[in-house]
Amino acid sequence: MANNVQYAFPLAGSSLPPRYEQLKEDQDGALPDAGVRPPPCTVVQMQQQQQQVYVPPVRDHFVWSLFTTLYLNFCCLGLLALNFSVKARDRKVVGDHSGASSYGSTAKCLNILALVLSLLMVVLVIILTAVGIIGWNKPMD
């Protein structure tokens, strides 16, 4: 009796290769479906999306510099801060982000310095008035 069982994988220890069934071919040796053409393929080319890098907006501190110039202009630091704010805004319009951020940070530092010095002057005047060193008395007749 012949053994017609075929295994997908050869059995362990057996050196015989598995037997496969041959395909039936037409007279000319081609496959039966060879005369039928497959439908044409559609190729879609996908464009690669570019990753956009987030660049934070450059701060020019123009309004703060304007306020410092009008109200807290200690030793003209507010005017100087306003000048640097305008330069930062000009650089931002041109597209020079590094120059704009440099001028903007300088304007910020000048605004902080003007604010701190102005507040120190106000506090100093209040303290000196409370102690009595500065008097707001009427002049003697």
What does the pLDDT look like over 78-96, one tens digit per residue?
999 999 999 999 999 998 9
Supply φ then ψ for residue 8, to 5 degrees: -65, -35
pLDDT at 30: 55
Cα angle value 58/61/67 (rounded, 5°): 170
pLDDT at 9: 59
Place of tokens 């037997």: 19
**pLDDT for 102-131, tens place per residue?**
999 999 999 999 999 999 999 999 999 888
Cβ count near 115 (within 10 Å): 19
pLDDT at 39: 73
pTM: 0.57
Distance CA 97, CA 6 (A): 74
75: left (phi over 0), alpha (psi -120 to 50) or beta: left
Q: Where are the domains of the chain?
A: 62-131
pLDDT at 44: 79
